[in-house]
Chain A
């Protein structure tokens, strides 16, 4: 299984194939979709894409961490982290697509 890495270009290509838009406009739409999701998340909003998954923002409180190399204690400030919960459909596709058939 030679894993490839897809990028924005591949997503624009998928849009280009799906609808008769120019490559340039397809790329702009991909960018805008990512922007809309990012902006909603930055505002603390959940992004729920049915049959894909849910992105949500969680707040973490401050805690004392440790530099694993030096053993030094370092304060970790309160921060917000992003979590992604895949939909059942995505999990099923990923599980069945990667079954020991490679």
Chain B
């Protein structure tokens, strides 16, 4: 499923909404999650999963082609962990 398919499905289920608005709604949801993580916050969606930010320490990396050492700065990366309900459903324990 891609974003546009989700929007189409939601529009079909909500004939009282303009498709344009459904697009804005879907975008607002995903943007809110990105904004939260950009501020270092966590987004916990019980049953679905949690988005969080993980810190990667600074390290000395290597250019794999030349073997040259390069220093890699500390950085933060997005992380998602699936919730228990979704994990169980993936494995046939329907809830």
A49 at the binding interface (Cβ < 8 Å): yes
A33 at the binding interface (Cβ < 8 Å): yes
Would A98 and B91 be within 8 Å (CB), given that A33-B10, A34-B48, A36-B1 are in contact? no
Total residue contacts A-B, CB cutoff 8 A: 157
Q: How extensive is the interface on chain B, given as a class?
A: 35 or more
Q: How extensive is the interface on chain A, given as a class?
A: 35 or more
The docked-state distance in angstroms from the alpha carbon of A48 to that of B14 is 22
Cβ distance A94 to chain B, nearest Cβ, rounded Å: 5
Would A82 and B87 be within 8 Å (CB), given that A19-B24, A40-B1, A52-B33 are in contact? yes
A79 at the binding interface (Cβ < 8 Å): yes
Q: Are the C-beta atoms of B90 and A82 separated by less than 8 Å?
A: yes
